[in-house]
């Protein structure tokens, strides 16, 4: 599990409400504090308000009631352009934020407002392309990339600006194991740099293995906020959010149902592997 450093509130959301023009109330009295250097996940059923909530962080959505504070400042009067230097959001559909003619130009465009010289932009662009394994695609249009490569380019175009806060909307959706591993390594590296990270996800296996704190939402409200391994193994909360129990939790229950006494506090894949190895070894010795 990724360990985070918690000291100073980076994000504070107080009594936030938001209703869409069609009358759908997406956020109801949201109160949330996220510390500097903290990694949190937001989970819940479709329509729970997750994406609406993260869009309040950089001004894409303005609360009709309540306030959002970044670094202790109310963002009510700040424009999206200014906020994007502090809060970088990677959308679920990367095509919504890619519009340059080439992969290389996409990175350069993202860097243009950082007051860098031409040579610095070129040097940083090359470094980013290499880091994200996109160098071989640099002259290609983003529209010709695979889904995984497009998502990686969207990541690169935001991370290269080095914002204090990174927000990811369903980053593992449609990704294979190798791509998820790359993303996991990326957020580990960003946490080491004391970045604050918010991840909206339906991937319960990813969350329980990598995200220390989970915010559960339903019907525009936060219904639970706490340690991931506690909340995501409570069946009544999982059902309320239309999620599914982690595979290890279900496997644990199945083992106990056939008489193999597996400790209930086993939450992670590696711990289960160790338990099964010890169980099989002990059974072999006893026979």
The answer to whether the CB of 86 falls within 8 A of the CB of 163 is yes
- Which residue, 22, 95, 89, 79, is CA-closest to 54? 89
Say yes or no: 96 and 208 in one domain.
no
Note whether 252 and 222 are same-domain residues: no
Q: What is the pLDDT of residue 7?
A: 59
Range of the domain at 257: 246-287
What kind and span of H or E run contains 159? Answer: helix 147-159
The reported pLDDT for the residue numbered 131 is 93
pLDDT of residue 72: 93
User: 122 and 41: one domain?
Assistant: no
DSSP 227-278: EHHHHTT-HHHHHHTT----HHHHHHHHHHHTT----TT--SHHHHHHHHHH
Residues 121 and 108 in one domain: yes
pLDDT, residue 3, reads: 46
CA 122 to chain CA mean position, Å = 29
> Are both 193 and 105 inside the same structural domain?
no
Q: Are residues 120 and 225 in the same domain?
A: no
My answer on whether 77 and 169 are in the same domain is yes
What is the model's pLDDT at position 281? Answer: 86
Are 116 and 234 in a shared domain?
Answer: no
Q: What is the pLDDT of residue 147?
A: 86
16 in helix, strand or coil?
strand
Q: Which of 162, 195, 225 is the last residue of a domain?
A: 162
What count of other Cβ atoms lies within 10 Å of the Cβ of residue 29? Answer: 13
- Residue closest to 111 by CA, chosen among 152, 159, 78, 70: 159
Whether 52 and 75 map to the same domain: the answer is yes
Q: Are residues 266 and 198 in the same domain?
A: no
Round to whole Å and give the CA distance between 45 and 78: 31
Element (H, E) at 182: helix 177-192
Domain termination site, one of 162, 192, 221: 162
- Does residue 3 sit in the same domain as residue 82? yes
CATH (domain of 20): 3.40.50.300
Q: How many residues does the chain have?
A: 287
Tens-digit pLDDT profile for the chain (287 aa)?
554 444 579 999 999 999 999 999 999 999 999 999 999 999 999 999 999 999 999 999 999 999 999 999 999 989 998 898 899 999 988 887 888 899 999 999 999 878 889 999 999 999 999 999 999 999 999 989 988 899 999 999 999 999 999 999 999 998 899 999 999 999 999 999 999 999 999 999 999 999 999 999 999 999 999 999 999 989 999 999 989 888 888 999 899 999 999 988 888 888 889 999 998 888 777 76
CB 132 within 8 A of CB 156: yes
C-alpha pair distances (Å), 144 with each of 52, 100, 101, 141: 30, 12, 11, 6
pLDDT of residue 223: 97
Question: What confidence score (pLDDT) does residue 153 get?
Answer: 94
Cβ atoms < 10 Å from Cβ of 158: 21
- Number of structural domains the chain divides into: 3
Q: How far apart are CA 116 and CA 94, in angstroms?
A: 25
pLDDT value of residue 166:
97
Q: Are residues 16 and 141 both part of a single domain?
A: no
């Amino acid at each position: 599990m990724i360990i985070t450093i918690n000291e100073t509130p980076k994000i504070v959301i107080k009594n936030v409400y938001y209703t869409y023009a069609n009358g759908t109330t997406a956020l109801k009295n949201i109160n949330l504090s996220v510390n500097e250097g903290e990694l949190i996940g937001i989970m819940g059923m479709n329509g729970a308000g997750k994406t609406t909530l993260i869009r309040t962080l950089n001004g894409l959505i303005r609360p009709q009631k309540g306030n959002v504070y970044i670094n202790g400042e109310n963002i009510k009067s700040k424009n999206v352009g200014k906020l994007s230097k502090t809060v970088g959001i990677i959308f679920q559909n990367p095509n919504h934020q890619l519009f340059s003619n080439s992969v290389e130009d996409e990175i350069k465009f993202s860097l243009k407002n950082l007051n860098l010289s031409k040579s610095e932009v070129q040097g940083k662009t090359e470094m980013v392309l290499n880091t994200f394994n996109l160098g071989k695609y640099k002259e290609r249009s983003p529209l010709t990339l695979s889904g995984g490569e497009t998502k990686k380019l969207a990541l690169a175009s935001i991370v290269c600006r080095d914002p204090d806060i990174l927000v990811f909307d369903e980053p593992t959706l449609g990704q294979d194991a190798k791509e998820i591993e790359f993303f996991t390594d990326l957020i580990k590296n960003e946490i080491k740099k004391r970045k604050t990270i918010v991840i909206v996800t339906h991937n319960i296996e990813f969350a329980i293995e990598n995200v220390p704190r989970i915010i559960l939402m339903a019907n525009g409200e936060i219904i639970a906020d706490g340690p991931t391994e506690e909340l995501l193994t409570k069946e009544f909360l999982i059902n309320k959010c239309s999620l599914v129990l982690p595979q290890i939790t279900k496997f644990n229950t199945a083992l106990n149902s056939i008489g193999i006494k597996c400790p209930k506090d086993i939450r992670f894949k590696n711990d289960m592997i160790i338990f099964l190895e010890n169980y099989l070894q002990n059974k072999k010795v006893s026979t």
